[in-house]
Amino acid sequence: MVQLPKNRFLDFGWLKQFMPRGLYGRAALILIVPIVTLQLVVSVVFIQRHFNRITVQMTSAVVLELEYLLEEVNAAATPRSALDRIAPVIRPLAMWVELPGAPVDTSIRLTDLTGSWVSRTLQAGLPNLTGVDLSSTRDGVIVGVITSHGPMRVGFSRDRVSASNPHQLLVLMVATGILMTLIAYLFLRNQLRPIRRLATAAEAFGKGQVVPYKLAGATEVRSAGKAFLDMRSRIERQIEQRTLMLSGVSHDLRTPLTRLRLGLAMIEDDSREDLERDVDDMERLVDRFLSFARSDALEDEPEPVDLATLTRHLAENAARAGQNVVLGDVAEPGTYPARRAALERALENLLGNATRYGSHVRLSLVTGRGDLRFVVEDDGPGIPPEAREEALKPFARLDKARNQDKGSGVGLGLAIASDIARGHGGHLRLGDSADLGGLKVELVLPR
pLDDT in tens, 10-55: 555 666 676 777 666 777 777 778 877 877 777 767 666 777 888 8
Beta 371-378 vs 439-446: how paired, if at all? antiparallel
Q: What's the pLDDT score for residue 376?
A: 93
The percentage of residues in the chain with a pLDDT greater than 90, rounded to a whole number, is: 11
Beta 325-330 vs 361-367: how paired, if at all? parallel
Q: What's the pLDDT score for residue 404?
A: 42
CA 230 to chain centre: 28
Contacts of 309 (CB under 8 A, 6+ apart): none
Euclidean distance between CA atoms 215 and 237, whole angstroms: 21
Sheet holding 95-98, edge to edge: 95-98, 150-157, 140-147, 129-133
Instruction: Choose the final residue of a domain: 164, 187, 213.
Output: 164
Q: Is the pLDDT of residue 235 over 60?
A: yes
Q: How many domains does the chain have?
A: 2
* Rg from Cα positions in the chain: 43
374 belongs to a structural domain: yes
Q: What's the pLDDT score for residue 279?
A: 77
Q: What is the pLDDT of residues 111-140, one digit of tens each?
A: 777 788 888 899 988 888 889 998 888 788
More confident residue, 270 or 325: 325
Q: Is the pLDDT of residue 107 over 60?
A: yes
* Host domain of residue 377: 300-446
For the stretch 88-93, contacts whose Cβ atoms lie closer than 8 Å and that sit 24 or more positions apart, written own/partner, are 93/65, 93/69, 93/156
110 belongs to a structural domain: yes
367 belongs to a structural domain: yes
DSSP 33-68: HHHHHHHHHHIIIIIIIIIHHHHHHHHHHHHHHHHH
With H, G, I as helix, E, B as strand and everything else as coil, classify residue 178.
helix
Q: Is the pLDDT of residue 98 over 60?
A: yes
Q: Return the minimum-mean-pLDDT range out of 242-246, 355-359, 414-418, 424-428.
A: 242-246
DSSP 195-260: HHHHHHHHHHHHTT--------SSHHHHHHHHHHHHHHHHHHHHHHHHHHHHHHHHHHHHHHHHHH
More confident residue, 392 or 295: 392
Supply the CATH number for residue 429's domain.
3.30.565.10
Burial of 218 (0-12, 13-18, 19+ CB in 10 A): exposed
The percentage of residues in the chain with a pLDDT greater than 70, rounded to a whole number, is: 82
Supply the CATH number for residue 82's domain.
3.30.450
Q: Helices in 266-399 by DSSP H: which ranges?
A: 272-294, 307-320, 340-357, 388-391
Which range, 58-72, 213-227, 412-426, is most confident?
58-72
Q: Return the minimum-mean-pLDDT range out of 75-79, 183-187, 305-309.
A: 183-187
Q: What's the pLDDT score for residue 64?
A: 92
Q: What's the pLDDT score for residue 9?
A: 47
Sheet holding 427-432, edge to edge: 325-330, 361-367, 371-378, 439-446, 427-432
Q: What's the pLDDT score for residue 187?
A: 81
Angle in degrees, CA 82, 87, 89, rounded to 5: 110
Average pLDDT over residues 388-411: 60
271 belongs to a structural domain: no
Euclidean distance between CA atoms 86 and 95, whole angstroms: 11
253 belongs to a structural domain: no
CA 423 to chain centre: 24
Q: Is the pLDDT of residue 403 over 80?
A: no
Beta 325-330 vs 140-147: how paired, if at all? unpaired
31 belongs to a structural domain: yes
28 belongs to a structural domain: yes
Instruction: Choose the final residue of a domain: 104, 137, 164.
Output: 164
Q: Is the pLDDT of residue 297 over 90?
A: no
Instruction: Choose the final residue of a domain: 164, 182, 210.
Output: 164
349 belongs to a structural domain: yes
Average pLDDT over residues 382-405: 69
439 neighbors 354 (Cβ within 8 angstroms): yes
Q: What's the pLDDT score for residue 441?
A: 92
Q: Is the pLDDT of residue 90 over 60?
A: yes
Mean pLDDT over all residues of the chain? 80
Q: Please, what is the angle between helix 340-357 and helix 272-294, to 10°?
A: 140
Q: What's this model's pTM, rounded to 2 decimal places? A: 0.49
Q: What is the pLDDT of residues 334-380, one digit of tens each?
A: 888 888 888 888 898 888 888 888 888 999 999 888 889 999 999 88
Average pLDDT over residues 175-193: 80
